[in-house]
Amino acid sequence: MDLKGKDFLTLLDLSTEEIKGLLDLAAELKAKKKQGIPHRLCEGKNIALIFEKTSTRTRCAFEVAASDLGMGSTYLGPTGSQIGIKESIADTARVLAGMYDAIEYRGFGQQIVEELAEYSKVPVYNGLTNEFHPTQILADMLTIQETLGKLQGVHLVFMGDARYNMGRSLMVGCAKLGLHFTACSPEGYFPPEDLTNTCKEIAAETGAVIDFASDPYEAVKDADVIYTDIWVSMGEPEEVWDERIRLMKPYQVNAELMAHAKDSCIFMHCLPSYHDLKTAIGKKVGEKYGMSALEVTDDVFESERSVVFEEAENRMHTIKAVIAATLS
């Protein structure tokens, strides 16, 4: 694997071998971290972290990973910098590339992170756009590998709105790594056709399977992983909740749905999650629609089949692998 100097914008840009190489490196760096073995592979380097949307996991994963690798980091949040208001993306890219060794960007359209990369002479990493969330997929795949012992042939069913970043990115990751990906969504809420066709072409090479379903109980009957995401993503207007709740309610991951899957089936979620009413949005929406949880019920979220916190921890180990592979 030679990713030195490369951007990390979508998994479409990487070969299957390169993605597997990153997962192996993440596992190695995770083992070192657990054993207290230093791994300051990027000593003296610096990374700029641009967040035009909020974050807990991705920000913390980048900051801890950078620190463990011996790097400095600067967080530029949704407010407080000149980005987008007084300074264009192209100018920002050239300014930051003069001071930093890498730039992470979380924000809106994929074309923004692509433009940043075009104008930056240092590697740019996609920390989530409306369309893709590639660092999340690395963490998900590492978690599946650790929990189920393999990736090839694993059947992952994504429940909910598969048009957005998580549905799309999981489809790409599954295609590249030979999994069986099913998007289980209402009609019209599947990933876009051009991306689906690209993934089917990749699948023909890797042995992956890509299909769509709309009946949740039928879709999960031989699932190894049931994956879901929040029903309204960052940046979407509040008005979409009404329609989204009506359409997505049958796709809620609850005990009855899990009972239709194999006993060995695990539950995954990129987080954050509205699995109870203990958050401001969860409470507001849940009370309005008379629901105690939204995309996943609390009993499933807290069950032994749920690997969501292992998945969250793996964000850090996999992001560390991306930084180390591209900078050292």
Question: Mask 42-61, x = binds ligand CP (CB under 6 A)?
Answer: -------------xxxx---
* 173 versus 178: smaller Cβ distance to ligand CP: 173
Task: State yes or no: is 229 an active-site residue.
Answer: yes
Which residue is catalytic, options 59, 106, 155, 269? 106
Q: Select from 100, 101, 129 the least CA-distant residue to 114.
A: 129
Which residue is catalytic, options 174, 270, 305, 317? 270
Task: State yes or no: is 111 an active-site residue.
Answer: no
Which residue is catalytic, options 57, 59, 133, 168? 133
* 42 versus 319: smaller Cβ distance to ligand NVA: 319
Task: State yes or no: is 270 an active-site residue.
Answer: yes
**Contact call for residue 137 and ligand CP (CB under 6 A):** no
Task: State yes or no: is 161 an active-site residue.
Answer: no
Task: State yes or no: is 136 an active-site residue.
Answer: yes
CB of 191 to ligand NVA, least distance (A): 13
Strand 72-76 relative to strand 46-51, pairing: parallel
**Contact call for residue 169 and ligand CP (CB under 6 A):** no
**Contact call for residue 229 and ligand NVA (CB under 6 A):** yes
**Contact call for residue 165 and ligand NVA (CB under 6 A):** yes
The site that binds ligand NVA (CB under 6 A) totals a number of residues, namely 8
**Contact call for residue 314 and ligand CP (CB under 6 A):** no
Interface residue with ligand NVA, options 230, 265, 266, 312 (CB under 6 A): 230
Residues 266-325 contacting ligand NVA, CB under 6 A: 270
Structure tokens at 74: 């600067």
Q: What are phi and psi of 296, to 5 degrees?
A: -145, 140
**Contact call for residue 309 and ligand CP (CB under 6 A):** no
**Contact call for residue 273 and ligand CP (CB under 6 A):** no
* Residue 264 burial (10 A CB sphere; 0-12, 13-18, 19+): exposed
**Contact call for residue 234 and ligand NVA (CB under 6 A):** yes
* Residue 28 burial (10 A CB sphere; 0-12, 13-18, 19+): middle
Interface residue with ligand CP, options 50, 71, 76, 128 (CB under 6 A): 128
CA dihedral 56, 59, 61, 65 (to 10 degrees): -160
Task: State yes or no: is 2 an active-site residue.
Answer: no
Interface residue with ligand CP, options 136, 143, 182, 252 (CB under 6 A): 136
Q: Catalytic residue positions?
A: 106, 133, 136, 229, 270, 315
